[in-house]
Structure 1
């Protein structure tokens, strides 16, 4: 499903990703954990080409894009992005559009589908994420959790092969975190392939088939959730988990 090979990323002279190699199988949930500044979000953004790597390659589905001196073409970028849906820390909803208008906007423009058909699909997704009764509300009247559930439905409207989540609960009040995590857990049970940057260790323990611990732009440790979170072999991983536990 996803194969990342020898990926490197620099911002000017600062190397933020170095020799990144990992794979994600269809239906697998992979959680990226690690301290702030370790490269987790940059790696996720590289998977969707929101950041362009300096070297290496990414294969998603049957599409492979290689990086080097030449930037990927618009066609390659579009085809790679078609495989994935992205959910950000902030909700990035259109403030002047209702919930249902927000989630049908992209397929309306990109896939040129009929609006009536998209509304039916959108309402089904809103029921799935518990937002149907809010379909005609505007984002500023919603809680953070409701906005994030709308953002998840919006990403799902494009029927992505893989969902990418960048700290999906970090902007939420503690009492709203659970409602968003439940939606993501339901997607995992349905077999949705996902790559999730998260600081919620108990959530990662429940949901992840694989955990990657990152530090300093490297993948330091990789394994099952039980292996990495409960029996880490690397000293950096042990120190990070102890620090999280002490907070």
Structure 2
């Protein structure tokens, strides 16, 4: 489903990702964990080309983009992005559109799909994430957790093969975190392929098939989530998890 090989990324002269190699099989949930500034979010953004890598290759589905050659064309970027849906920390909903208008916007514009068909599908997805009763509300009338659940439904509207989550609960009050994690957990049970940047270790241990521990722009440890997050081999991983447990 996803294969990343020798991926590098620099901002000016600063290397933020160095020789990244990993793969994600169809139906797998992979969590990216590590300290702030370790490169997790940059890696996630590289997967759908919100950031353009400086070297290496990314394959998603049957599309491979090689960054050792010329920068990707707009067509290549669009082809790779069609495989993935992205959920950000800050929701990114349109404030002047209702819940249903927010989630049908992308397929309406990109796919030129039928509006009534999209509304019917949108209602089904809003029911799935527990937000159907809020269909006519605007984002400022919703809690952070509710906005994030709408953002998840919006990403699912494009029928992505892979869902990418960038710390989806980091902007939420603690009491709202569980409602978002429950939605993501239900997607995992349905077999949705996902790559999730998270600091929620108990959630990661429960949901993830694999975990990648990152530090200083490299993958320090990569393996089954229960092993990496509960019995890590690398000292840097142990130190990081110990700090979280101490908190």
Which bin holds the TM-score, normalised by the shorter protein?
over 0.9
Quote the offset at 1:68 in angstroms. Answer: 2.8
Structure 2: 5+ residue stretches without partners:
none
CA distance in 1, matches of 2:225, 2:67: 31
Aligned to 1:58, the other structure's residue is in SS state strand
What is the TM-score with the length of structure 1 in the denominator? 0.99
CA contact (8 A) 2:106 2:158 kept: yes
SS of the aligned residue for 1:188 comes to helix
Deviations 1:63-97 (A, max 9, x none): 00010352100110000000000000000000000
- Which residue matches 1:90? 90
Q: For each residue in 1:141-197, what CA deviation from the matched residue of structure 2 results, as whole angstroms up to 9, or x when unmatched?
A: 000000000000000000000000000000000000000000000000000000000
| Correspondence 1:144 to 2:144 | yes
1:230, distance to aligned residue in structure 2 (A): 1.0
User: What CA distance in whole angstroms lies between the structure 2 residues aligned with 1:163 and 1:145?
Assistant: 18
Instruction: For residues 11-59 of structure 1, give each alpha carbon's deviation from its aligned partner in whole angstroms, at most 9, with x where no partner exists.
Output: 0000000000000000000000000000000000000100000000000
Find the counterpart in structure 2 of residue 207 from structure 1: 207
Match runs of 1:141-220 below 5 Å: 141-220=141-220
Whole-angstrom CA distance in 2 between matches of 1:143 and 1:211: 30
Note the 1:66-81 alignment, pairs <5 A.
66-68=66-68, 70-81=70-81
Secondary structure of the 1:147 match is helix
Alignment-derived partner of residue 9 in structure 2? 9
Structure 1's consecutive aligned runs of 4 or more residues displaced over 2 angstroms after TM superposition are none
- TM-score normalised by the chain length of structure 2: 0.99
* Aligned alpha-carbon RMSD (Å): 0.5
What is the CA–CA distance in structure 1 between the aligned matches of 2:94 and 2:66, rounded to whole Å?
A: 33
Contact 1:54/1:69 (<8 A) preserved: no
- SS in structure 1 opposite 2:8? strand
| Structure 1: runs of 5 or more not aligned | none
- Tell me, yes or no, if the aligned pair for 2:57 and 2:68 is still in contact at 8 Å: no
Aligned to 1:239: 239
CA contact (8 A) 1:33 1:197 kept: yes
